[in-house]
Chains A and B, each alone.
Chain A
Amino acid sequence: MKLTRSFTVLAAMAVAGAAQAEGSLNIYNWGNYTSPEMIEKFEQEYDVDVTITDYDSNDTALAKIKAGGHGFDIVVPSGTYVPIFVSEGLLMESKPNEMENFKHMDPVWVDVDFDPGRNYTVPWQWGTVGVTVNTSVYEGDIHTAALLFEPPEELKGKINIIPEMMDVMSTAIYYKGGEQCSMDREVLKEVRDMLVEAKKDWLSMDYGNIEKFAKGDLAAGLNWNGASMRSRLQNEDIAFGLPKTGYPVWMDNAAILADAQNVENAKLFLNFIMAPENAAMLSNFAKYANGIAGSAEFMTEDLSSAPEINPSDELKAAGVLSKTCPPEAQKIYTAIWTELQK
C-alpha cells in the first residue's frame, strides 16, 4: 500500500537524515512545475531515485541555498536570479554546452545575458507576462497595457494584477516609455501616479485566477501566458494580449548547485531535459514553452498550436527578456510598491 510505503520511507528518513543512497537526486523546484511522468522516465532510464522539494519564490530559494546545509542538487531559478546565484558562487559550472543534447537547444536561448553560452544553466520553461482579456466584455485592441493602467469603463472593477513586483513595474515603465530597470525620475513619478490611480479600478492582486477568468469574475488582468491559455481552454472568449509598448519575457533554468552531492546524476538530468521529447513532457505538464528546438512535435495539440505560446513575429519583437536590476533601482521600486499597497 502506498501509505504504508510513505510511512516506511518517512521512518527511515527520520532515523538516517536525508539518506544519500546510491543513485539519488534532489531537485529543488517551484511547486507543481515538474512533470511526474518525465521524472518517472528519468528514474527508470538511469536507475536514480529522484526527490522533489518545492519552493514558492526565487527569494526563498536563494536565501535557503545561500544559508547552506540544504541537501539539494538541482535548483530552477528564473533568469533574473541566475546572475545572483552565479556571483554568490552558488552554482557549479557544469558546462551544459558540452553535453550531448546541447545541440537541441534553440540558438535564440544559447547566448542569453544571464548565462552567455550556457556554462551553468539549461532552459526549463519560458513565458511572457501580458494582458488576459475577456473579449465578450471588451472588444477593442487587446495588445496594450492601457487596459490595466487606464482601463475603459467596462473593465473597471474586474481587473486582477499578479502580485509580481518586477513584472508590474516593468510593464508600467515600458508603457510610460521607460527602459528596463529605469531610474529616470520623471518616468518613475509618472509610473507611480498612474499605478496609484489605476489601483482604484483593480479588484485584486492575486495568483491562481484561471477559473476566475473562465467564469467571468475577472474580465482583464496582468497574467502569465500559460495561465491565460488554461483559462481560454475553458472559455473561448479569453484572449491574451502582449503590449506593443513592451512586455516582460522570463525563463526559468535548471542548474547544478556548487555543493551538490549527486553531481553525476545531476548532469545526467540536465542532459536528459534537453532532449526534445523530454522537454515536451515538461511543457505538457507545466503549459509553457521550453526553449528546446524540435520539442513542439511531441507536445499536445493544445499547446503546440496555442497563440499564447507562439505569438506573431511583430508582437515577439516587443518582448524584453527580464534581467537583474541594480539594487538602487530595486530600492525605488520597492518604495513605489509599498506606497501602492499601503
Chain B
Amino acid sequence: MAKGFDIRRQTGFATIAMACFVILYLPIVLLVVYSFNAGTSVAIWEGFSWRWYVSAWDNDQVQAATVRSLVIAFWATLIATTCAVLAALATTRQGSFRGYTLIFAMINQPLMVPEIVTAVALLIFFAMIKVATGYTGLFYLIIAHSAFCLPFAYMPIRARLQGMDLSLEHAAMDLYGTPWRVFRRVTLPQLWPGILAGAMLAFVISLDDVVITEFVKSAGQDTLPTYMLGQLRRVVTPEVNAISTALLAISVVMVMGFFFLSRTKK
C-alpha cells in the first residue's frame, strides 16, 4: 500500500494530526511536572518534591472522591451507552418516522440546557424523592450522569449507523438468523468503533462534571471535580495533579496491556 502512490494519504493531514497530539499532551506534560512542584501552586514552578504525593496519600477525602468519580463514571457510561445503542438502532433504521424529531430533540436536550439549570431542577426534583423515600445513595448521581452522557454516547453511534451497509444484515436475516444472533454476529462488530467512541466520550464527560454533581450530591458524596471546586475560592494545591498523574499512569499501563494483548491474539 505504501509504495508509490498511497491513495489514503492527504497532504498535510498527518502533520496536522501530529500537531494535534502534541497540543493535546502539552498541558498534560505540564500537569505531570507540576505534581512534583515543591511550591503550593498548580501553575508556578518552585522546585522538585514528592510532597503532594505524600499529602494525597494521606488525604482520605481526596482518595474517596477519586474512587467515587470513577465508580459513578463507570456506571453512567454503561447505562448511557446501552441506552444509546438501542436508541440509535431505533432511530436510524427504516428512515424517519412520526415523532422522530421529538425523540432526537429529547436525546440531545441535556446538551442544550446549561448545566446549572439542569442542576437546580434536579436538586428540587431529587430532594423531593430523597425526602419521600429516605434513600440518599449514589443512585441519583449515577442516573443524572447517565442522562447527560446519553447524547455524547448517542451521536457517534448514530453517525456510525447512518448509511451502514444493511445488505449484510439482510443476508443474515435471509439465512434465518434470529434477530439477536444477527445483531450480535453482524451488526455489533460493525458498530463497535461507534460504541467505543461513544462510551469513551460518555466516560470523560461524566468524569469532568462539576455543576450537576455539586447540586445533586448528598452528604459524603464529593467527587474529584466537586472537591476541586470547593478549593477554587481558596487554594488549589498540586495534590490533585498528583492524583491525576497517578490515574494517568494507571491508564497508560492499562492501554499498554491492551495493546500487547491485542497483538498476541493475532
Contacts and interface: CB of A to CB of B under 8 A. Distances in A.
Interface of A: 2-3, 5-7, 9-10, 13-18, 26, 28, 30-33, 36, 51-57, 60, 63-64, 67-72, 207-208, 210-212, 214-215, 227, 230, 286
Contact of B235 (A52, A53, A210): A210
26 contacts: A6-B64, A6-B67, A10-B64, A13-B138, A14-B137, A14-B138, A17-B135, A18-B136, A26-B220, A31-B228, A31-B233, A53-B220, A56-B232, A57-B233, A63-B120, A64-B123, A68-B131, A69-B127, A70-B130, A70-B136, A70-B218, A70-B219, A207-B232, A210-B40, A210-B41, A210-B235
B130 A68 contact: yes
Contacts of A56: 214, 229-230, 232-233
B107 to A, nearest CB: 27
Nearest to A69: B130
A211 B41 contact: yes
Contacts of B64: 6, 9-10
Contacts of B43: 211
A227 B220 CA distance: 27
Contacts of A67: 123-124, 127
Given A13-B138, A53-B221, A30 B63 contact: no
Contacts, number: 132
A317 B128 CA distance: 47
Contacts of A15: 137
A7 B67 contact: yes
Interface of B: 39-41, 43-44, 57, 59-61, 63-64, 67-68, 71, 120, 123-124, 126-131, 134-138, 214-215, 217-222, 226-236
A280 B120 CA distance: 37
Given A9-B64, A16-B137, A53-B217, A208 B230 contact: no
A17 B67 contact: no
A32 B235 contact: yes
A227 B41 CA distance: 13
Given A13-B220, A18-B137, A3 B63 contact: yes
Contacts of B40: 210-211
Contacts of A214: 44
Contacts of A69: 126-131, 136, 218
A3 B67 contact: yes
Contacts of B215: 60, 63-64
Contacts of B231: 31-32, 54
Given A18-B136, A69-B126, A55 B218 contact: no
Contacts of A13: 137-138, 220
B137 A51 contact: no
A71 B217 CA distance: 10
Instruction: For the complex of A and B, list the 5 residue pairs with the smallest distance between their C-beta atoms, beginning with the closest.
Output: A31-B230, A69-B130, A54-B230, A67-B127, A71-B219
A215 B235 contact: no
A208 B123 contact: no
B194 to A, nearest CB: 30
Contact of A53 (B138, B222, B233): B222
B185 to A, nearest CB: 35
A208 B127 contact: no
Contacts of A2: 57, 60, 63
A5 B61 CA distance: 12
Contact of A72 (B127, B129, B219, B226): B219
B227 A54 contact: yes
A52 B61 contact: yes
B99 to A, nearest CB: 33
B211 to A, nearest CB: 9
Contacts of B129: 69
B227 to A, nearest CB: 6
A72 B43 CA distance: 34
Nearest to A2: B63
A28 B232 contact: no
A139 to B, nearest CB: 25
Nearest to B44: A211
B44 A215 contact: yes
Given A53-B221, A69-B218, A211-B44, A230 B124 contact: no
Contacts of A17: 134-137
A338 to B, nearest CB: 16
B8 to A, nearest CB: 45
Given A17-B134, A31-B232, 14 more contacts: A17-B137, A32-B234, A32-B235, A36-B61, A54-B231, A60-B215, A68-B127, A68-B128, A72-B219, A207-B233, A208-B235, A208-B236, A215-B44, A227-B235
A51 B57 CA distance: 18
A51 B236 contact: no
B67 A10 contact: yes
A60 B214 contact: yes
Contacts of A212: 44
A28 B138 CA distance: 17
Nearest to A52: B61
A275 B221 CA distance: 30
B217 to A, nearest CB: 7
Nearest to B211: A60
Contact of B227 (A31, A51, A211): A31
A206 B120 CA distance: 24
